[in-house]
Amino acid sequence: MKNKVLIFIAGLVAGVTIGVLFSVAIKELLIQFKELHISLNRINVKQNELSQRMDSIQGKLVPDAKKPVQTPVAIVKPTAPATAKTPATNDNSKAANSKSANTINTMPADTDVVVMTNQLVSVISAQLKNKDTLNKKNVQTDSALESMSDVNDLAERVFIRVEFWKSPLNYKGYKMSRGKVVLYGLAPVPNATIYTLDYNNFLVINQTAFRVEYTDDYKPFERVSDKAILKKLGL
């Protein structure tokens, strides 16, 4: 009988203890849920404030439709002019200048973009002179040197077309083909001469000599300072 009472008391104490612990755990869990709910509410409030700020910033960044929109100026790098089949004379310089009078081409009226292009300033015919000391027999027998120096090609010509161009980028250089020399950055002159000397070509303008060669790409000017070469050219 005494054992049964002890077992009953022990069971009662255990039940009460478990009930207390369970109620404490439930209360703690409810507190945590409440705190989580409060944190979520705070996060939602912060998000709403952040969204309102972003909308305000975007509203400030939107350009005013009443203000004119300025478009940038597009600049075109030097482009190769069309190759002429026959050399031009001094009589053609006026016609060439009149065709190139407009140096700035505007786009259609619905845009403000302005395209700056190269300007053809002047066209002359430069005289070709051969100062090579080699005789014609040696030149004819040495085909490899002929292909490199183009002596025969220049010997067959008397004049070559020279075009003076102005670049909006202030580019200075030249490009040379068998029938034309294109010059950028040099002031136009009425007369020029191209000499062939020791398998090299020299452009002489205003007592200044430049070494030139046939090239499809624009190259910078190479001014001649060698006194021996200048003496042979008569400068």
- 83 pLDDT band, cuts 50/70/90, is very low
Q: Do 100 and 200 reside in the same domain of the chain?
A: yes
Is the pLDDT reported for residue 78 higher than 80? no
Q: Are 163 and 182 in contact (CB under 8 A)?
A: yes
> Between 56 and 117, whose confidence is greater?
117
Distance, in Å, from the CA atom of 134 to the CA atom of 197, rounded to the nearest integer, reads 10
Tell me, yes or no, whether 162 lies in a domain: yes
Q: Do 81 and 52 reside in the same domain of the chain?
A: no
Q: Are 197 and 185 in contact (CB under 8 A)?
A: no
Q: Do 49 and 130 reside in the same domain of the chain?
A: no
> Between 152 and 40, whose confidence is greater?
40
CA distances from 126 to 98, 105, 154, 233 (A): 21, 30, 12, 15
Q: What domain range includes position 49?
A: 1-62
SS (H, E, C) 143-186: HHHHHHHCHHHHHHCCEEEEEEEECCCCCCEEEECCCEEEEECC
Q: Are 214 and 220 in contact (CB under 8 A)?
A: no
Tell me, yes or no, whether 189 lies in a domain: yes
Is the pLDDT reported for residue 37 higher than 80? yes
Tell me, yes or no, whether 69 lies in a domain: no
- 176 pLDDT band, cuts 50/70/90, is very high
3-state secondary structure of 125: strand
3-state secondary structure of 51: helix
CA distances from 169 to 73, 79, 118, 212, 227 (A): 13, 12, 9, 22, 33
Q: Do 12 and 80 reside in the same domain of the chain?
A: no
From 62, 97, 115, the end of a domain falls on 62
Q: What is the DSSP letter of 198?
A: T
Average pLDDT, the chain: 74
Q: What pTM, to 2 d.p., does this model score? A: 0.45
Q: Do 113 and 220 reside in the same domain of the chain?
A: yes
Closest CA to 75 of 101, 103, 100: 103
Return the pLDDT at 19.
Answer: 84
Is the pLDDT reported for residue 87 higher than 70? no
- 187 pLDDT band, cuts 50/70/90, is very high
Percentage of the chain beyond pLDDT 70 is: 64
Q: Do 128 and 38 reside in the same domain of the chain?
A: no
Closest CA to 200 of 213, 209, 210: 213
Q: Are 178 and 153 in contact (CB under 8 A)?
A: yes
Q: Do 105 and 185 reside in the same domain of the chain?
A: yes
Q: Are 73 and 117 in contact (CB under 8 A)?
A: no
Maximum average pLDDT range among 6-15, 151-160, 177-186: 177-186
Return the pLDDT at 108.
Answer: 52
Q: Do 58 and 90 reside in the same domain of the chain?
A: no
How many domains in the chain?
2
Strands 180-184 vs 159-166: parallel, antiparallel or unpaired: parallel
The per-residue pLDDT for range 103-130, each reduced to its tens digit, is: 444 455 555 555 678 899 999 999 999 9
Phi/psi for 228 (5° steps) reads: -65, -45
Q: Do 81 and 50 reside in the same domain of the chain?
A: no
Q: Do 49 and 87 reside in the same domain of the chain?
A: no
Distance, in Å, from the CA atom of 166 to the CA atom of 168, rounded to the nearest integer, reads 7
Return the pLDDT at 114.
Answer: 55
Instruction: Name the token pair of 95.
Output: 């016609």
Tell me, yes or no, whether 9 lies in a domain: yes
> Between 59 and 218, whose confidence is greater?
218
Q: Do 107 and 31 reside in the same domain of the chain?
A: no
From 42, 62, 82, the end of a domain falls on 62
Return the pLDDT at 219.
Answer: 94
Q: Do 144 and 50 reside in the same domain of the chain?
A: no
